[in-house]
Chains A and B, each alone.
Chain A
Amino acid sequence: TAGITQAPTSQILAAGRSMTLRCTQDMRHNAMYWYRQDLGLGLRLIHYSNTAGTTGKGEVPDGYSVSRANTDDFPLTLASAVPSQTSVYFCASSLGVGTGELFFGEGSRLTVL
């Protein structure tokens, strides 16, 4: 079973360039999330989506944008990357924002130089 698929697995990006991290789920979950995890720290919520067509801001939304055109996909875009956005990014989904366990992807490691 695929569950959550993230791409790319790893990427090195020059500062100032744009980048889109892709996330796809095949569980027909309504809610999707993006978290970032810096070395040795816990996860911080960037953006989330209750359902297709809606998005919300998390703890650290600045510098990131998301869209939810359909149920399955939830891409995260960095319009102009900065070194402080070097992190591991995890996408997750759940039945609803307030219900169901979260299923996580394997993560996308992004290095901004």
Chain B
Amino acid sequence: DAKTTQPNSMESNEEEPVHLPCNHSTISGTDYIHWYRQLPSQGPEYVIHGLTSNVNNRMASLAIAEDRKSSTLILHRATLRDAAVYYCILRDYSGNTPLVFGKGTRLSVIA
């Protein structure tokens, strides 16, 4: 499986933007970049995904490097509710490969 590298933890002030980085230097052409987050005491939830172009949805934006070897999840205005572990995962859409989660980045939001 293609692997990703994320910082163990990050901290942000409330109401400020947060940029969560992810490196995936061995990404293949059929890998989509997925982000999930896990709030305390809950199961993970889908955030966003993309292939090559930047993507926006109501939760976040995903900026993908031109060479696709890195990506950044952007939370435009962090709230206390955004404190969670954020997982960056590569998903191969060419076959039947299940998602494998890494350790993710623990985001703390300071009021």
Contact = CB atoms under 8 A, between A and B. Distances in A.
Interface of A: 4, 31, 33, 35, 41-45, 48, 50, 56, 58-59, 90, 92, 96-99, 101-107
Interface of B: 34, 36, 42-46, 49, 85, 87, 91-104
Contacts of A101: 34, 46, 49
Nearest to B95: A98
A98 B94 contact: yes
A43 B49 CA distance: 19
Contacts, number: 59
B103 A92 contact: no
A19 B78 CA distance: 41
Contact of A104 (B44, B100, B102, B103): B44
Contact of A59 (B45, B46, B95, B100): B100
B96 A50 contact: yes
